Amino acid sequence: MGTEIERKFLVRGEAWRSLAEGILYRQGYLSIEPDRTVRVRIAGNQGYLTIKGLSDGIRRAEYEYAIPIQDATELLDTLCQPPLIEKQRYRIAWGDAIWEVDEFLGDNQGLIVAEIELNHPDQPFDRPDWIGAEVSHDPRYFNASLVKYPFCQWRANASQP
């Protein structure tokens, strides 16, 4: 079984921008059930199908498969739940790890998060100074949640009593 162990943080400042080139990601969901998500993604010029299980803390089952980009495009355009998630992803080597910084576009513009994948939940890691508060356990920051409740709505609702 494939397992993902991932911690997620908000990003602060701009220092991270000079550390990597961004790649455009476009992704959508065929299923966003609490027990499982099924995602279609185009990253650069490669398509992927990913199945993820229910989160257990920062751990969950994950299976990812490369698929033809034509299939991924068709699935995104015809079967995935709108809206699609679009973002620039920056892969930044730091210490012994790779940080993935996602700068969201569209309805989620203004949201920037960084993720680090670990081998076990208690694994120590170097934390860059541009890493802010941890949001690993806040479901609002899950990409699948951003389909149902985009970041632009958070800001609009924050100004209401």
At position 43, the amino acid (one-letter code) is: A
Report whether 136 contacts 6 (CB < 8 A). Answer: yes
User: For strand 59-67 and strand 81-94, is the pairing parallel, antiparallel, or unpaired?
Assistant: unpaired
Report whether 6 contacts 111 (CB < 8 A). Answer: no
Which listed residue (25, 29, 90, 141) is catalytic?
Answer: 29
**149 belongs to the catalytic site:** no
Report the Cα 80 to chain-centroid distance in Å. Answer: 16
Whose tokens are 């892969």? That residue is: 91
HSE (side-chain half, CA atoms, 13 Å) at 27: 30
Give CA–CA dist 45/159, Å, rounded.
39
- The token pair that represents 95 in the structure block: 């210490």
Active site residues: 29
